[in-house]
């Protein structure tokens, strides 16, 4: 199996290198048969090619079984006409990576973690409020006059149906509960269409309990008692916000794994940003990217029927949990002494 590696910006090269070392360790020890190829995106690509994202990367990515994508510094990219392309958005639309799985759970010993938290946010990635990706041509954000700015939200039956199905299928592997987040009391047509598809899919999964909660109430419930949630289903922007909240409640955004997938391809991608303020200082917590890589292995295992990939993913997660369980083997953001490289070293050591 071939994995495409795209380091990205800021702390991206550091955490991708750390995660890749962990993956290479289990690959060699367990004979997984994974091979790796690197390419440039972000500022490295802008310097070499005049754009943060080369269109040929879409075709190249299709020839791989999976990919590892580092964080991007979209805020500081030049305008699109000067080569500043949103990399994640381009991959998501170009490869139809519609399903974003973002787990959050309390780990033993991480003091800031909210007790009983163990959920997955299943977020739709290709439409919704994200104006840079919801139209065929142009964006959903525009200014008819200099003092008026407008934005459109796109919600399709197909998009809602397939992300709902992904959520219910995941719930069947977990605790069999889906919470569909919406604001149907205000956005009656768009969230109305979304909930219509959710209830339609729910009929195919009678074993799964379905609850629906308004987005504003959901933030309060998540802080008050996160243990009540299993799979949280959400459209694009709601899912983005809720997953960051859930991850911080788990102890740190640096712990949050993430994958974005189509039916045919999966990307491992840290949930957090590029943190340029600590770039090159060996301070970044690589846990998010390492966990994302284990999620990629699980996705590949299920797609290709590979039990060895399942076992490798579980071994990585167990090693990370063991490292995080002790203050002396945590990174600085969690009160520990280790840097990025040293934490990866410890995980590899625990993997044996």
**84-93: pLDDT as tens digits:** 999 999 999 9
Q: Is 271:253 a contact under the CB 8 Å cutoff?
A: yes
Please say which residue of 223, 249, 275 terminates a domain: 249
Same domain for 257 and 238?
no
**CATH code, 260:** 3.40.718.10
Domain that holds residue 200: 114-249
Q: Is 194:154 a contact under the CB 8 Å cutoff?
A: no
Same domain for 125 and 95?
no
Q: Look up the pTM and report it.
A: 0.92
Task: Give the model confidence (pLDDT) of 142-197 as tens digits.
Answer: 888 999 998 888 999 999 999 999 999 999 999 999 999 999 999 999 999 999 99
Exposure of 10 by Cβ count < 10 A (0-12 exposed, 13-18 middle, 19+ buried)? buried
- 7's tokens: 């380091």
φ/ψ of residue 131, rounded to 5: -70, -20
Number of structural domains (the chain) is 2
| Domain presence at residue 108 | no
Residues known to be catalytic = 130, 183, 216, 240, 244
Q: Which residues does 240 contact at the CB level (< 8 Å), separation at least 6?
A: 123
Same domain for 93 and 151?
no
Same domain for 241 and 264?
no
Q: How far is CA 47 from CA 72, 105, 153, 197, 201, in A?
A: 15, 39, 34, 44, 46
Band (138; pLDDT cuts 50, 70, 90): confident
Q: Rounded to whole angstroms, how far apart are CA atoms 262 and 75?
A: 26
| Domain presence at residue 22 | yes
| Domain presence at residue 86 | yes
Please say which residue of 222, 249, 276 terminates a domain: 249
Same domain for 125 and 244?
yes
Same domain for 260 and 242?
no
Q: Give the pLDDT score at 112.
A: 61
């Amino acid at each position: 199996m071939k994995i495409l590696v795209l380091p990205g910006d800021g702390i991206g090269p550091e955490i991708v290198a750390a995660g890749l070392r962990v993956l290479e360790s289990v690959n060699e020890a367990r004979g997984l048969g994974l091979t790796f190829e690197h390419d440039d995106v972000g500022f490295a690509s802008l310097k070499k090619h005049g754009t943060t994202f080369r269109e040929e990367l879409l075709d190249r990515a299709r020839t791989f079984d999976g990919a590892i994508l580092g964080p991007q510094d979209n805020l500081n990219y030049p305008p699109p006409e000067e080569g500043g392309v949103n990399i994640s958005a381009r991959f998501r639309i170009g490869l139809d990576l519609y399903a974003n799985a973002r787990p959050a759970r309390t780990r033993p010993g991480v003091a800031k973690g909210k007790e009983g938290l163990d959920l997955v946010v299943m977020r739709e990635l290709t439409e919704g409020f994200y104006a840079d990706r919801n139209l065929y041509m142009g964006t959903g954000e525009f200014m008819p006059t200099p003092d008026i700015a407008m934005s459109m939200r796109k919600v399709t039956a197909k998009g809602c149906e397939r992300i709902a199905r992904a959520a219910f299928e995941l719930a069947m592997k977990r605790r069999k509960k889906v919470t569909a987040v919406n604001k149907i009391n205000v956005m009656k047509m768009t969230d109305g269409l979304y909930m219509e598809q959710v209830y339609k899919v729910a009929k195919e999964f009678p074993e799964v309990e379905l609850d629906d909660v308004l987005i504003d109430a959901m933030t309060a419930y998540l802080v008050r008692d996160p243990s009540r949630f299993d799979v949280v289903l959400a459209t694009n922007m709601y899912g983005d916000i809720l997953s960051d909240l859930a991850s911080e409640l788990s102890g740190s955004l640096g712990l949050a794994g993430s994958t974005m997938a189509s039916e045919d391809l999966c990307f491992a991608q840290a949930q957090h940003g590029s943190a340029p303020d600590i770039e090159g200082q060996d301070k970044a917590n690589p846990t998010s990217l390492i966990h994302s890589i284990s999620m990629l292995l699980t996705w590949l295992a299920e797609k290709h029927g590979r039990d060895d990939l399942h076992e490798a993913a579980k071994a990585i997660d167990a090693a990370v949990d063991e490292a995080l369980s002790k203050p002396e083997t945590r990174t600085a953001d969690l009160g520990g002494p280790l840097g990025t490289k040293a934490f990866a070293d410890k995980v590899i050591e625990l993997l044996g």
